Structure 1
Amino acid sequence: MNTPLGNQTLLLYLILSLAQNTVVVERWWQVPLSKEGRPPRLYPRRHQVYKVVEDTKHAPKEKMELILAQTVAKLGGRGDTVFVKKSVGRNNLLAQGLAVYPSPENKEMFAEELRLLHEGRPEERIQTRTGQLTVEILKHMELKVEKRTSIEYDITKEIVCRQILKKRGIFVPPHALRLPEESIKDLGDYWCEVTVNGIDTVRIPMSVVPFEDPTATGRKLLKKQKQEETDAAAVQEAATVSEAATVPEATQGKKAVPPTENQKKDKEPHD
């Protein structure tokens, strides 16, 4: 291909540069059908007016699906399938060997590896990323279990599991929970142990407290507010009484002034 050097450079640049975005347009004025054997009648100005149908620049970007080959903080563990931005996947995960493409071979390999880890001995198992996050949440947890004092019953595993699900949103099956051997009937401080995926066990401090009815709590709060208002009114009344008591004392402290000669003459009777 005989082309000048400048054209070769331009051609090479066009070949290497990729289209980043695509804009779909259509003619505002449709071109009329031409008669058979005749060229179409085009109006240069009218038929060069276009309207935008779709602009992919502002469309939501599709994320890249990858399988992590190593544990990545805040993303997942080895064998987890993640969806990330294409720039992050290409420049960080794939470039550093932290992830691979989800090909059928890779999916089968990691599935087999995960199966062996779950079926192996406990000391050989590896905790998943979700399991690690669950363990961290349980380590900083203090559980409060409400118990009705008017009814005698034991705190069972099912009750504790429901409380954990209610307070933290973590589902704990009863077989993964362990309570003290003695039955829990009275109020006080106890403990419970949760085993995550059969690998890590976390001991959680647990307190059994009396049950409070929400309506009773509302009445108690209203009673407290009324008591505060009564106390404030009593303090205000006491301050007013003390101010009134100080006024006579100030008056008594003043000495009487004797009348002058003119005042005495005015008081004498006139003939």
Structure 2
Amino acid sequence: MFRTLIRPLQSARIIQIPIRTTVVVERVHPLTKLRPGENIYDYSKYKYTDFQYRIIRDTDTEKWGNIDVILTEYVEGVGYKGEIVNIPREMAYRELLPAQLALYPTPENIALFEEERKLLVDRPQISPFVMKCRDYLKSIVLQIPINLKSKEWSLTKDNIRIALRRINVMCDEDAIILEDGSINQDTYKLGEEFNVILKINPLVEVSIKCVIVPVDKAKLWDEYQLSKRRPKT
């Protein structure tokens, strides 16, 4: 049992990424004056107060800001190969540059990707926020409230649009791909998940997992009337 615990530890690798930083300090007390001819490197002649410093600036705690890099490969949510992008320094120093996914945009490095940069003119540009929105919608289960007490009900694009608006995602009904009447009281079982296609833009679309949640309209109306009667604080 002891050996099985040790073996994974022996194969573990620690990768150290050097980070350049600068700390500017000043002395708290004036330096002790030495007599002419005394060795300035003889630290026994100094007081402990001579080694007390006050930090004026620490670049490791400051905001790093952004930096321009040229991508050597396609990075999802960042850009294409050969593209010069402006990204946070923390992302560049800790992720892209150590993995050689990006280089500094020197004239030599730009010349290496001259052919790829010519292709970027005709390539459609996709915003990083579009990819983040797609990843977010892929990770959720959208709850669509439907009044199941109605004898005949069917899921419409308007129901999906309202459910998306409840999670602060605004879209038009034209962006929702759903066959009208495909999900109704006869084809749907309570708790069953289904997928709906949403077109974020003409180039990117996402499949969203959805589930129908029963809701009582009469109960919601009563709660709405009660909320209006409550005194505002």
Q: Give the shorter-chain TM-score range.
A: 0.3 to 0.5
What's the TM-score, normalizing by structure 1? 0.40
With a CA cutoff of 8 Å and minimum separation of 6, indicate the structure with the bigger relative contact order: 2
- TM-score for both structures, normalised by structure 2: 0.45
* Higher relative helix content: 1
Larger radius of gyration between Structure 1 and Structure 2: 1
